[in-house]
Chains A and B, each alone.
Chain A
């Protein structure tokens, strides 16, 4: 049972000793800190129930696991580039010259009790952390949870993702092994590809020529102090904003932008979330106990002369590697005595710049296109916003193609293909793939919406065929119940904006017309193709006759799909408020 406000029934029995002790302690704390008010506020906070709302929690809990295991690792890891000769139980490294960072990683793995398990927990938790962040972002994106008033929280979450990338990269490089050293060399190359500033940036980062001896201690400070502190602070802000905005909820009967339907934080979510932390910890520990991750003892200590085949970064950086592998090398130019390395600059700086900017600014771009300034607390069903859903799938397709391109050597060896052919295929797919994915997703969304219309107007098929006295056969359809129907009609279709003309009645040019025109063009791109939800009038028409042929639209093959600004448009200026009330009753007209 969902409750908006529930409190336990008062206990009839006199309080036991334990209860009195607990009450006494609580009273003691309350009188000195005033914590009672906060507890009362939080304990009765309502959260809606859905599995996809737990994705962010996976990220949060894996971060806690990272903090716990990372603290253990700092007690044994030595972030020093002092050259030593390793002597220890790992025979394959006996007597090998290496940095103290690498030697202490080997000691941590083979001599510290539980050290290897902790290292593997830390690394698996990092991969899960980033994966959970990305999955959580996808949920927020596809359900439109970033809309007003949550745009700023989207930015906080985006910054957390970037910080997660930096935390991962800096930590991955700490053991000073061959694989991460190759990665650092790539990072150095990307820094150097930046025109004019490149070599200064590289020398500043590495304290001189690559690899130098400064970077590992610097990365250590960044990895264990700077980034975790920032992540912790931003997580606090992220959660605070969730509490301030209240949680979003999926559409359904009884749910609106003005309420939150769910369960109180205490005791339901305290138990669920508390338990979920241990589930996350258990899954990570299970992986760490059974699967090797980053076996630096096989890679060996870093030496700039060694470059291994198949050197790849962790999965969340793999799209950058993929870009570098795809970019043709002929795009390097020498101008005078300066080298312009577009072959590195484009995949290393420009492409990630575009991808990340698109993610960060999406809420603002979409708000500009819709011209919608209202608050939204009920989530979108992805099918009801075809352009956004299709854009998201196209974006993920590009990301996935880049990840595959970053693994092109493994695809080549495991499927016996030519790496050259694979690279060319991915070069083409990087552009064609997202376009195809966009088109297919949009068509699927529109089709699902038409399916919803069909269901609402005609009900479920029952398979029961009835013959009338006149000889006519019909199949009996069972109407949807109110809850089913509400889910399919509750949304409003975004429509292309109509703007006021460029000149007023006296022929004076209107200020802001050009911005409005841009906005209109954008909103046409977004919302020109759409399927309107069934209106009460249509529903009444469909039901009143007992047959469905009263409504021509229902029999049209393209029922309900509209093109252009016909069929009721939302006005940017005066009657935004009107749209909900009046517009929804006049129904779609045919183009």
Chain B
């Protein structure tokens, strides 16, 4: 005690105290942190998790590390982020849309036909969810759009999504070869999970930002966009550029054809 009393006026004492206080706060927070959205994890059986771990170590560990702790990209080699705490939703989205396992490195990982079946995806999701709490796969109830407000979904889409995906959801370009994909073929569950987990360049829209009901409204709006256009062919829904292209190709093309026909010499 005497030694402590002698040193409490030492000029580094405040720094040491501050460090101790920070450590304590961190420890308390780690214990008290709300374990959110881990319902799926609870439901998953031990055998699913074990099977998922095997799949993970065979297919994902090269980049994400044997325990999903992530790995720095070494020279020309693969690296991937830590998957602890990304939740089952992220796995279901990334593996379900075929983005993972990644075919190659690039500006952006591309979607492709899924490499695993639904059961394997569920096992992988269960394993990753067991590593740390994260957003879970949306339930059928969350995806039920029967009572959705399509108009509100449209307004939310224009406010939150249109600057990257375009006002019609036809996709758009981002910097350096990245892009926001077209949303016309994405399944409702994948749309929901993308909002929840923010894959690649996309920001996270958590439940405080866009509520589950609003996410459902956005999905309902995107589904009505797929019903075709009352005006005829959609021309890719990319706006005036394709309209101008077809005005020249079909309109001026046909009319010049007609001109040649009419102007053809009769003599």
Contact = CB atoms under 8 A, between A and B. Distances in A.
Interface string A371-413: 0000000000000000000000000000000000011111011
B237 interface: yes
A407 B167 contact: no
A309 interface: yes
Interface stretch (B22-30, B82-90, B153-161): B153-161
Interface stretch (A205-213, A280-288, A347-355): A280-288
A407 B251 contact: no
Given A290-B232, A308-B158, A419 B177 contact: yes
A53 B263 contact: yes
B244 interface: yes
B258 A132 contact: no
Interface in B237-267: 237-248, 250-252, 254-256, 258-265, 267
A106 to B, nearest CB: 11
Interface string A112-139: 0000100010011001100110010000
B168 to A, nearest CB: 5
A124 B247 contact: yes
B224 A91 contact: yes
A292 B232 contact: yes
Contacts of B139: none
Interface in A449-494: none
Given A92-B154, A410-B241, A275 B262 contact: yes
A357 interface: no
Given A276-B262, A290-B232, A300 B243 contact: no
A92 B263 contact: no
Contacts of B162: 178, 306-309
A577 B224 CA distance: 74
Interface string A171-209: 000000011000000000000000000000000000000
B158 A409 contact: no
A170 B107 CA distance: 40
B177 A412 contact: yes
B64 interface: no
Given A291-B232, A295-B231, A309 B251 contact: no
Contacts of B260: 51
Contacts of B237: 295, 298
A135 B260 CA distance: 14
Nearest to A117: B231
Contacts of A318: 240-241, 244
A499 interface: no
Contact of B172 (A275, A300, A413): A413
Contacts of A51: 256, 259-264
A49 B266 CA distance: 10
Interface string B75-108: 0000000000000000000000000000000010
A120 B232 CA distance: 10
Contacts of B250: 283, 287, 291
B174 interface: yes
Contacts of B235: 291-292
Given A51-B256, A291-B235, A178 B167 contact: yes
Given A178-B167, A306-B159, A310-B172, A410 B238 contact: yes
Contacts of B122: none
B240 A294 contact: yes
Interface stretch (A67-75, A93-101, A535-543): A93-101
A314 interface: yes
Contact of A54 (B174, B254, B263): B263
B229 A300 contact: no
Contacts of B49: none
Contact of B231 (A91, A293, A308, A410): A293
Interface string B162-189: 1111111011111111011000000000
A226 B168 CA distance: 34
B255 A309 contact: no
A128 B255 contact: yes
A542 B180 CA distance: 68
A135 B252 CA distance: 9
B231 A417 contact: no
Given A300-B155, A306-B162, A128 B247 contact: yes
| Most chain A C-beta atoms within 10 Å of own C-beta, residue among B158, B173, B242, B252 | B173
| Most chain A C-beta atoms within 10 Å of own C-beta, residue among B171, B231, B242, B248 | B231
A124 B251 CA distance: 9
B221 interface: yes
Given A291-B235, A292-B232, A54 B177 contact: no
B125 interface: no
Given A58-B255, A93-B154, A298 B225 contact: yes
A298 B167 CA distance: 7
A420 B176 contact: yes
Given A127-B243, A419-B175, A54 B154 contact: no
B158 A283 contact: no
A548 B204 CA distance: 81
Contacts of B258: 276, 279-280, 283
A418 B231 contact: no
B19 interface: no
B34 interface: no
A368 interface: no
A287 B262 contact: no
A25 interface: no
A412 B173 CA distance: 6
Nearest to A297: B230
A506 interface: no
B210 to A, nearest CB: 16
A96 B239 contact: no
A298 B227 CA distance: 12
Interface string A42-63: 0000000111111100100000
Nearest to A292: B231
Contact of B247 (A313, A315, A410): A315
B243 A315 contact: yes
Given A109-B230, A300-B158, A92 B177 contact: no
In order of increasing CB-CB distance, the 4 nearest A-B pairs are A315-B244, A309-B172, A51-B263, A292-B231
Interface of B: 107, 150-151, 154-155, 158-159, 162-168, 170-177, 179-180, 221, 224-225, 229-235, 237-248, 250-252, 254-256, 258-265, 267
Given A124-B251, A127-B247, A310-B166, 16 more contacts: A1-B267, A50-B263, A93-B151, A135-B256, A280-B255, A290-B233, A294-B243, A298-B229, A307-B162, A308-B158, A309-B173, A310-B239, A314-B240, A410-B238, A410-B241, A417-B177
11 contacts: A55-B256, A91-B224, A124-B247, A179-B167, A279-B255, A280-B255, A280-B258, A295-B229, A300-B167, A306-B158, A310-B238
